[in-house]
Structure 1
Amino acid sequence: MGNILKYWLRVLVSLLISVVLIMHSAGIVRLGMLDRLEAWSYDARLLMTLPHEIDPRIVIIDIDEASLKQIGRWPWGRDQMALLTESLFTRYKVATVGFDVVFAETDTSSGLPALTQLANTQFKHDAEFQHVLNQLRPSLDYDGRFAQALSLGPSVLGYYFTPYVQNLGQLPQPMLKSQRASALQLLQVKGYGANLVRLQQSATGAGYFNMSADFDGVTRRMPMLSSYQGALYPSLSLATLQAAMQTHLQIKNITESPFNTRHVALAADDMFIPVDKRGAVLVPYRAYPGYTYLSAVDVMTGRAPADLLENAIALVGTTAPGLLDLRVTPVAKNYPGVEIHANLISGILDGALRYQPGYAHMLEMALLLILGMLLALILPRLSPLRGALLSMSLAAVYLGLVAWAWQHGSVLNVAPVMVLILGLMILNMAWGYFAESLAKRQITGLFGQYVPPELVDEMSHDPSKFNMRSESKDLSILFSDVRGFTTVSETLTPQQLSDLLNEFLSSMTAVIHAHQGTIDKYMGDCVMAFWGAPLDNMYHARDAVLAGLAMQEELAQLNLSFAARGWPQLHVGVGVNTGRVSVGNMGSKFRMAYTVMGDAVNLASRLEGITKQYDVPMVVGEETFAVLPEMAFVELDSVRVKGKLKPVIIYQPLGLRADVSPHVLALASDFSEVLKAYRTQHWDVAQSKLAAMIIRAQAENVPVGLYQIYLDRIIYFREHPPAADWDGVWVFASK
């Protein structure tokens, strides 16, 4: 009787495990561990089957460090882009050019607008001036020159969609109406940042370059279609491919066996692109690098090999770390976004896109139900050895099915079925060896047959406290950048500039190290650092903010030394943000670096960039503010930075509360009242308080730039009242 009860108890526990896994597969519950295992299994299959040869049909024109060094900082003038495009079409005879770049703003760097203004005013009646200007106008119209270059061949521009209302530039013609894709559940975007009208009209087409990452921040799939105002728009890779092949893809519904499930695909005469219900495809990665990279400056100067480019699809993008177009992928942690577009084009041309067929989910549910009941009833009756042999045989058969499907372009989930088989096997083995055994030594001996003792010993006695393996941690990240560095550099000789930079970076590094920070990298005049790794630091946010304040103090002393040598004064903007990031040794087999990646890093960079918008030396994010009650802050604004959907409250740190003067604390408190009045559109209250604060601040030698900014906003909003649903958030459309 006792054995029967034990048997059915084991059966019941096994069935409960099966039910939980079925609920996960059905989407009723989500088990994060299974999601992570599934992602790992997909990445493992991908890495084991990566094509290693270079695809010669696609060439990446790289805006790399060498190009930036020779031509100048990005963005380049449109005359340079015209030169690059003309060279690709006329000298190298490429089939198509796709730009992983958006050109949303007019290029005024030639000075043509200023000359035109003079021609219409001071020199309105100067015939010679008018004549010379008319002769020079075509060469000074950089946007016009770029537009003309785009018309030389099939060219595709890049743009981006936003989840909030924004209309910059001109969208291309849509691919088709959304009603044609009723089977898809596409993301409904609300705004866009597109190219200048004259550029878009000269180009063959355009595609968006938005990318999506999975739950773990890894880019495994790419949305090929997005819906905007009742119309469908293609991705950059899809638009470039259509321009190159001179074809037009249509949406088709495909019926699949064995369950007669329906699947959606984009199809043309000789192309078939299966998409999931979100209109996305799995990226068919190649071993990195999978394509020939040519430096943009070599193409512009004619030094690039002609045979590599003739009749190729050219994608213009960047691998320069400072331009922040690197992604986390299964292939590499720092992966150029432009190569993702190249992989998609290559995979479509080869018909090598893998997808999860419509029947995969039903097959998984059926296997979980059948195998769960089978193993729950049989395993308790078998000896541990026979139970292990049965379970491993079933696992091997299923893995063989998964491998066969993978080779034929279909992706089946691995984790739920494998966890069921191995989990029930381990459960029954553990029950037999641990729950029912009275001899602990015997249990240990039996357990040692399946788990190597040296592995247990290594796990129990790890001598290494620190390592450089990638991990996810809460850190604080700091970015600093010299404002107006280009202007500063123009006043110095190369040797003086080198001496200034060396002394500046040495001083800033010393401050960061003194506050327990880790230097990530130097990017010209920019310094990136983080706190909390590799050494754990529970006060990482406090140390990062204090380091930023100390950098400003150190810079003040440094400027005295610079002034004595006749060098210009430096002004630095500092951004600090706190959040969960990926930290570890990342890179390629050619170069590795201990660095951090993640959304919190990007936001820190954005915060540094907007310090100048508020005329303050330092800005921190709300996550940093929230963990520092002992410090005094001024709330600056609620903003939506480029690349983030959720508004972020930003603050200026003043220092440790005990060290800040009562006058400064009072001004900070008063400014919070100004913000309340501003956000509720009580303009008179806000304006009167600001006026009084400016008088007090000037008397106490406190900067008033922030107050003047809000006075200007109030004046603007009086003449141009915000929308009825205005939430007080200030939107930054650029990085």
Structure 2
Amino acid sequence: MHTLIRFVLTSFILVGFLLHLNGFWTISLIEQVERLTYDARVRASVLNEVDDRIAIIDIDEKSLAEEGQWPWPRRKLGAVVDVLYQHYGIQALALDSVFPEPDGHSGLPWLGALEGSDVGQLEGVQRWIGQQRKVWDDDRVFAAALQRHEPVLGFVLKGLGGAEAQLGQLPPAVVDDARQMPASYIRATSYTANLDTLQAATPYAGFFDNPTLDSDGVFRRVPLLQQHDDAVYGSLALMTLARALSDTREPAQIELEYDARGGPRNALNLEYLRVGTYRVPVDENVAVLVPYRGAQGSFPYFSVSDVLHQRVDPEALRGRIAILGTTAPGLKDHRTTPVGVAYAGVEVHANIISGILDDRIKHKVPYLVGIETTMLVVISLIFTLLFPRVSPLLGTLMVGGMVVGLAGLSFGLWRTADFVVPLGGPLLFLFILVLVQMTYGYFVEARAKREVARLFGHYVPPELVSEMAQDTLAAEMRSDSREMTVLFSDIRNFTSISERLPPQELTALMNEFLTPLTEVIHRHRGTIDKYMGDAVMAFWGAPLPDEQHARRALQAALEMVGCMRRLADEFRARGLPELRIGVGINTGVMSVGNMGSQFRMAYTVLGDAVNLGSRLEGLTKQYGVSVICGDSTRRLVDDWAYRDLDRVRVKGKVEPVGIFEPLGVRAELDAQTRKELKHYRDALLAYRNQSWSEAELQFYQLQKSRPDPHPIYQVYLDRIEIFKRMPPGPEWDGVFTHTSK
């Protein structure tokens, strides 16, 4: 019952996680924990090395102080572009900025005002104004620099909810029809791009917005492609790399790769984006996880004022990919990332380019949902089937091992295969299961265990109490009728011994032998029925069913005899009376349950099989043996050796029964014992065939064969002597009738 309840609770939690995993609903806690574990893996695997292949041309506070407040005149930006290409010999340049409006620093407005004045109407002045328009048009000067070198401009794509205005001119698309490269592109509804004059000067531009920003505002992934209308456009990082990888002024080819196993090309089997010879793992939105190299400063920074005035060693920039961006706090181009809170946005682009060049982009495999589902199901099965059955210490070690295993698997695949295997979801699922299972175990199962322990703690071993607590039906002690084995033990001549001892010594003596006898019974999973003075009654097969009830009872009986022999030696050394034990065992159908009155109840067994067990214990004294079992017990444990003691009618029963002395596992008997048992069987057969002389000779030989002969030999010699004088007659069935208990 408890296992079923645990299974239902676990299934309920599992369904909730699976619904979240498959997008049917969103559980923010799961997303938050997954992000935390992702960020931890990023920080644990950063290279912390500077990549000098990519240079940041920084509009920093020093540059603002030297060159003036931003935005600068476009003429000055054109000079920066020229000096980077012509003096420093860079490989490619990206401008992490957008220029959607005419330059406000231009002298054109002043020329227009002059032209409209009376002076402007003079012929010479008009001619001069016409000449100066081209010189004073900063946008034209900037466009000329762009046309000479064709760097990559920036622009912004805006999705739903953004302003619908479409400013400036979009660059040429990567592909004009998105159906040619199908994917679940993020769609933009508007844009802010560069002036027509500027965009016409260079065919290259990339968007620098990030519509995949996580809800906590952290930059973890960035799309490489977005769609506007039917066309697809590239990101600033992608277009810059494509420009740098090309030997000509044409960018490197950009394509999407799909699952090689075939089928229609779509977002479900999209795996890679190819730029030139580089393959970049992407998700269905054609987005990549930003491969941060480390904290801000993972790329060399050069103040733009130093670059403009040629104060930088040309070799520091020659052949490099340069990105013009800003770290000045007032320009607000800072991002929150897994490796820093105020991280320069320009360095995000640099990390993407660096990661593609080094093949360090982490891959969220398409079958990620299947992997996480499998992990959750395995964790569920372990916690439902194993966790409730182990000790608290082992359970704690098991949970710790699972945490280490999940973290090790996730981080190992992260480092060796660049796979992003989910970790936060499984860990949170594991934590919730532990919490639920422990809560249920404490408030429900623990209460049941305490109740069972209260009812049975003095009668059954602790491990049996724990098993019973798993089955509430057993804990209810329902009355039942089943095949079981009962055991009765009694101390020989204890009445005469007790008469010679003071009450305190008698109580101490009883405790000294009843305690170890009880421990033996418990060790063999027996249930104490009652103590009757010096006698003990126990049974096997209840309250929990036990297919080995007969075997365990026999094992307990022989161990009890050995225990009393060891105690006898101790008692003699202390001057106490020597104690010997007799044990009767019988198997049969018995009624078991909580019986009694409204004033007092007891969990006990009743039936003829129980009564016979009590009679067999009484016969141990008459046959001179320590243990006697009935024939039904012998048949259930047929790999043991037994001495066939007799066929008897006990007091209160008409039907004869066979009684046997259990000797132990047959295969473990020594050769001498086997030989003696065979001789004994021959003698007993002669006795039952009324061959008195032959039987007498056989028993006499057995008695003389060893210095400590078995008492049964003398029992049969005495009977033979009587039967020789008064034969029982041809109708005799070999049964001996006992008239006393």
Distance 1:208 1:346 in 2: 18
Aligned counterpart for 1:294 among listed residues 275, 286, 302: 302
Q: Mean Cα displacement is larger for which, 125-134 or 296-305?
A: 125-134
Match of 2:218 in 1: 218
Q: What is the CA–CA distance in structure 2 between the aligned matches of 1:387 and 1:64, rounded to whole Å? A: 56
Larger radius of gyration: 2
Equivalent in the alignment of 2:29: 33
Q: Rate the CA distance shift 1:354–1:437 in 2: closer, same or farther, 3 A.
A: same
Matched residue SS, 1:333: strand
Partners of 2:435 and 2:103 lie apart in 1 by: 66
| Residue 47 of structure 1 pairs with residue 43 of structure 2 | yes
Residues 40-94 of structure 1, C-alpha deviation per residue, up to 9 Å, x if partnerless?
Answer: 0000000011121111111111111111122221111111111111111111111
CA distance in structure 2 between the partners assigned to 1:183 and 1:386 by the alignment = 52
The AA in structure 1 aligned to 2:369 is: H
When residues 368 and 182 of structure 1 are mapped into structure 2, their CA distance, relative to the original with a 3 A threshold, is farther
Match of 1:252 among 242, 245, 257: 257
Matched residue, 1:276: 283
CA–CA separation in structure 2 for the residues paired with 1:17 and 1:233: 42
Q: 1:215 to 1:124 in 2, by over 3 A?
A: closer
- Hey, what's the Cα distance between the residues in 2 that align with 1:425 and 1:36? 20
Correspondence for 1:308 among 311, 316, 328: 316
Residue 409, structure 1, aligned to residue 418, structure 2: yes
The corresponding residue for 2:381 is 373
Determine the structure 1 residue equivalent to 2:143. 147
Aligned to 1:233: 233
Q: Which residue of 1 aligns with 2:83?
A: 87
Equivalent-residue separation in structure 1 for 2:386 and 2:260 (angstroms)? 37
What are the superposed Cα offsets for residues 536-594 of structure 1, whole Å, 9 maximum, x if unpaired?
A: xxxxxxxxxxxxxxxxxxxxxxxxxxxxxxxxxxxxxxxxxxxxxxxxxxxxxxxxxxx
Q: Name which of structure 1's ranges 104-113 and 227-236 shifts more when overlaid on structure 2.
A: 104-113
- Equivalent position of 2:341 in the other structure: 333
User: Residue 192 of structure 1 aligns with which residue?
Assistant: 191
In 1: Cα distance, 2:408 partner to 2:260 partner? 25
TM-score (norm 1): 0.56
Task: For 2:121 and 2:376, locate their aligned partners in 1 and report how far apart those are by CA, in whole Å.
Answer: 86
Aligned residue-pair number: 434
Amino acid at match of 2:178: Q
Alignment check: 8 A CA contact 2:271 2:366 kept = no
Q: 1:323: how far off?
A: 1.3
Change over 3 Å in CA distance of 1:181–1:329 after alignment to 2: farther
**Residue matched to 2:15:** 19
Report whether the alignment pairs 1:165 with 2:172.
Answer: no
1:22–1:369 CA contact under 8 A, matched in 2:
no
Q: What do the CA deviations read for 1:406-426 (whole angstroms, capped 9, x no partner)?
A: 111111111222223343334
Deviation sequence 1:309-367 (CA, Å, 0-9, x none): 11111111111121121111111111111111111111111111112000111111122
Secondary structure of 2:13's aligned partner = helix
2:65 counterpart SS class: helix
Partner of 1:720: none
**CA–CA distance in 2 between the matches of 1:410 and 1:104?**
40
* Cα displacement (A) at 1:138: 3.7
Q: Aligned equivalents of 1:83 and 1:151: distance in 2?
A: 13
- The 1:108/1:126 distance shift into structure 2, 3 A limit, reads farther
CA apart distance, 1:34: 1.1
Report if aligned partners of 1:388, 1:425 keep a CA contact under 8 Å in 2. Answer: no
User: 1:271 deviation in Å?
Assistant: 0.7
Q: CA offsets, 1:621-667, max 9 Å, x none?
A: xxxxxxxxxxxxxxxxxxxxxxxxxxxxxxxxxxxxxxxxxxxxxxx
Q: Distance in 1 between matches of 2:343 and 2:128?
A: 48
User: Is the Cα contact below 8 Å between 2:223 and 2:288 reproduced in 1?
Assistant: yes
Taking the aligned partners of 1:24 and 1:311, their CA distance within structure 2 comes to: 48
Deviation of 1:275 after TM superposition, in Å, equals 1.7
Give the ranges of 4+ consecutive aligned residues of structure 1 lying more than 6 Å apart after TM superposition: none
Match of 1:418 among 427, 430, 433: 427
Separation of aligned partners in 1, 2:395 and 2:270? 39
* Cα contact 1:159–1:206 (8 A) shared by 2: yes
Tell me the alpha carbon deviations over residues 441-499 of structure 1, each in whole angstroms, 9 at most, x when there is no partner: xxxxxxxxxxxxxxxxxxxxxxxxxxxxxxxxxxxxxxxxxxxxxxxxxxxxxxxxxxx
Structure 1 residue 117: deviation in Å? 5.4
Provide TM-score, normalisation by structure 2: 0.56
Q: Give yes or no for contact 1:181–1:251 (8 Å, CA) kept in 2.
A: no
One-letter amino acid matched to 1:303: R
| Structure 1, unpaired ranges of 5+ | 441-735
| Residue of structure 1 in register with 2:125 after alignment | 129
Cα pair 1:94 1:310 within 8 Å, conserved: yes
SS of the residue aligned with 1:152?
A: helix
Question: 2:324 & 2:303 partners in 1: Cα distance?
Answer: 10
Q: Closer, same or farther in 2 for the Cα pair 1:424/1:322, shift >3 Å?
A: same
Q: 1:343 aligns with which of 341, 346, 351?
A: 351
Identical amino acids, percent of aligned pairs: 34
What SS does the corresponding residue of 2:337 show, helix, strand or coil? Answer: coil
Counterpart CA distance in 1 for 2:104 and 2:393 is 78
The CA RMSD over aligned residues, in Å, is: 2.5
Hey, what does 1:703 align to over in structure 2?
none
38, 61, 68: which one pairs with 1:65? 61
1:194 positional shift: 0.8
Confirm or deny: 8 A CA contact 1:95 1:154 kept in the other structure. no
1:237 shift after superposition? 0.8
What secondary structure sits across from 2:269 in the alignment?
strand
Residue 300 of structure 1: how far off its partner (Å): 1.0
CA contact (8 A) 2:111 2:133 kept: no
Aligned partner of 2:233: which letter?
A: Y
**Structure 2 letter corresponding to 1:16:** F
| Aligned partners of 1:151 and 1:204 also within 8 Å | no
**2:111 match: secondary structure:** helix
Note the residue ranges of structure 2 that are not aligned, 5 or more in a row.
247-251, 451-741
69, 74, 81: which one aligns with 1:78? 74
1:139-169 deviation line (CA, Å, top 9, x unaligned)? 3121111111112324000011123422211
Q: Given that residues 81 and 145 in structure 2 are in contact (C-alpha distance below 8 angstroms), is that contact kept between their aligned partners in structure 1?
A: yes
Question: Structure 1: how far apart are the matches of 2:423 and 2:27?
Answer: 14
**Structure 1, 314-323 or 396-405: larger mean CA deviation:** 396-405
Alignment check: 8 A CA contact 2:178 2:232 kept: no
How far does residue 434 in structure 1 lie from its aligned partner after superposition? 5.8
CA contact (8 A) 1:263 1:357 kept: no
Q: Which amino acid aligns with 1:172?
A: P
8 A contact 1:376–1:424 mirrored in 2: no
- Post-superposition Cα deviations, 1:225-272, rounded to whole Å, max 9, x if no partner, equal 111110000011111111111212112213489xx9723321144211
Partner of 2:272: 265
Give the equivalent residue in structure 2 for 1:718: none
Q: Whole-Å Cα distance in 2 between the matches of residues 29 and 168 of structure 1? A: 37
SS for the counterpart of 2:386 is helix
